[in-house]
Amino acid sequence: MKPYKAIIFDMDGTVLDTLDELTHSLAHIFRQHGLPEKTSQEVRACLGYGYIGLIQRAVPDLPVAEQEQLAREFKDWYGAHCAGHTCLYAGIHELLQALKDAGRQTAIVSNKGQAAVTTLHEEFFSGLVTFSLGESPLYQKKPAPDMVWEALKRLGCAQEDAVYIGDSEVDKRTADNAGLDSILVTWGFRDPAFLEALQPDYLVQTPQELQTLLLSGD
């Protein structure tokens, strides 16, 4: 592997285990509207497409206007309650510290709303990752390349010197659209066989394996 100068991560399912909190928050909103709650495995399959994408996949038969209202309510509730059941995946802190010590530039790009992304960055990534970029009106969501390109601009890094790391088909498409190499991880929100079929440049099983891979040229 070439020594990438910039390493850009997805957030949910890649560096943070947010599934319990997302499931709890969605259940809260659904209860307010008399909708049946979703299991964590059902929620897991809906993740990766931002708040409106989550709602559209969780309740596809609702009218668009109702989906949009649920997405707004979810954004507000989750933005204020995003950290309670969230944690770093085991080995991620050590990975990010090793990348920092090796002089690599890092950023996080997520389809999660910026309010929640900022809260989680301050809770888990301050001093480890340069910045975390979330959904805003300024950029198209992933898999559009806009947020990744903005991250590269802020990091002062060319596409050919960067890699994008995620855990879903959205992340693979994002890397492709942005012109970056891709690494997919198997501990997140998609099954390994599904990820392998996407043909990423690299597929890794553990944060320790990812650390070895990223620093192999040092």
pLDDT digits (tens, 9 = 90+) for 80-97: 999 889 999 999 999 999
Q: Are 73 and 97 in contact (CB under 8 A)?
A: no
Task: Report the predicted TM-score, pTM, of the whole model to 2 decimal places.
Answer: 0.93
Q: How many CB atoms lie within 10 A of CB 51?
A: 25
The reported pLDDT for the residue numbered 14 is 98
Q: For residues 188 and 89, what is the distance between their CA atoms, to the nearest angstrom?
A: 9
- Give the confidence band of 216 by pLDDT, cuts at 50, 70, 90: confident
| Selection from 143, 74, 144 nearest residue 113 by Cα | 74
Mean pLDDT of 38-63: 95
Q: How many CB atoms lie within 10 A of CB 165?
A: 26
The reported pLDDT for the residue numbered 218 is 66
- Give the confidence band of 33 by pLDDT, cuts at 50, 70, 90: very high
Residue 166 phi/psi, 5-degree rounding, is: -155, -165
